[in-house]
Amino acid sequence: MKAINTLLLILSWSVAHAQNPQIQRLGQELGAKEAGLRMEAARALGRAGEAQSALLLRRALAGEPSPAVRLAMVRALRHLVFHRSPGYPEALRGLEQQSSDAVEPDEGVRLKATEALWEAGKKDLLDPVPFLQRNLGDQSPRLRLGAVAMLRKLGTPPTIEALGQAALDPGQPETVRLKAIEAIGAAAQVDPGPVGRQVQQANLDQAGRFGAQSLAPAVPSRHQLQIRYLSALLRDPGASSSLALRAVRSVGQVKDRAAVPVLREVIANHRDEAVRLQATKVLSHVLARQYE
């Protein structure tokens, strides 16, 4: 019986990895002299949805000189992932490769690959935070801003960590830091609150009693993370008034009493009157929230 099961496994593996002559022909077209033919071959491989498609596209990407053709290949890989075609894990690896400026020199191709990976993360096919955090160091400010926008949409505790580090990084352009600070405040909308965290923790405890591995090993308060990073920025003497004003406004979006000490510090000590006035307004709202 064991020998039969082993034979069945071998046969199923052989079928899954069998070479499709049509796919192989399209793979050969990826090496054609005309860029138009290579683009059409890439599109056809994406539509075919075969396991071989992802492998052929990924191999061809390494030596493809045309950004337009590489973009077509990335779109084909995205198609394979979006439809969860056979071989989509290989397509994910290809997308991750092309989303890095260490591999892909063209900004547009990197952005399309990043967007495709973010979509895959929304479908729980991968954790999008590591590659988005990596892209916060991309040579292109556009890619950095795109990474901030995608992290903002996720709004999970790990994204707050990534956004907070970007907000505090003096090596980042101020436009990126401002957007990161804004995203930290906007993520307050997805905080489950004390009751929600209690429910989540109860579910985790229940899973533990049954020996199941939890997808979320801890349930930290997003508010705590947000206030920690915003407070650090407001206490940074090197932060510009624009950054401080945006941070105070983000504190106002979070509306957590943990921000009261730093708001009082800002009101008493900040050099910019506009920042002090905004902090006064926000402090009033934060203190009033306890009576809502």
Q: Is the dihedral of CA 19, 23, 29, 31 positive or negative?
A: negative
pLDDT band at 206 (very low <50, low <70, confident <90, very high): low
Number of domains in the chain: 1
Give the whole-number percent of the chain exceeding pLDDT 70. Answer: 80
Task: Tell me how far apart the alpha carbons of residues 97 and 131 are, in angstroms, rounded to a whole number.
Answer: 10
Output the pLDDT for position 19. 59
**In this structure, is residue 18 part of a structural domain?**
no
What pLDDT score does 253 carry? Answer: 92
Query: Would residue 12 count as lying in a domain?
Result: no
Place of tokens 């203190």: 287
| Domain of 95, in residue numbers | 26-126
Q: Classify residue 280: in a domain, yes or no.
A: no
Report yes or no on 261 lying in a domain. Answer: no
Mean pLDDT of all residues in the chain? Answer: 85
- CA separation for the pair 151, 160 (Å, rounded): 8
State the pLDDT confidence band at 222, using cuts at 50, 70 and 90.
Answer: low
What average pLDDT does the segment 261-271 reach? Answer: 96
pLDDT of residue 201: 55
Q: 205 — phi, psi (to 5°)?
A: -60, -40
Q: Could you tell me which residue, 163 or 5, shows the higher pLDDT?
A: 163
Note whether residue 104 is domain-resident: yes
Which pLDDT value is given to residue 188? 59
116: confidence class by pLDDT, cuts 50, 70, 90:
very high
Q: Is residue 112 part of a domain?
A: yes
Rounded distance between C-alpha atoms, residue 259 and residue 274, angstroms: 18
Is 95 a domain residue?
A: yes
Q: Quick one: tokens of 177?
A: 């830091």
Answer yes or no: is 97 within a domain.
Answer: yes
- Span 1-17, pLDDT tens digits: 444 443 333 333 333 44
pLDDT (0 to 100) of residue 15? 36
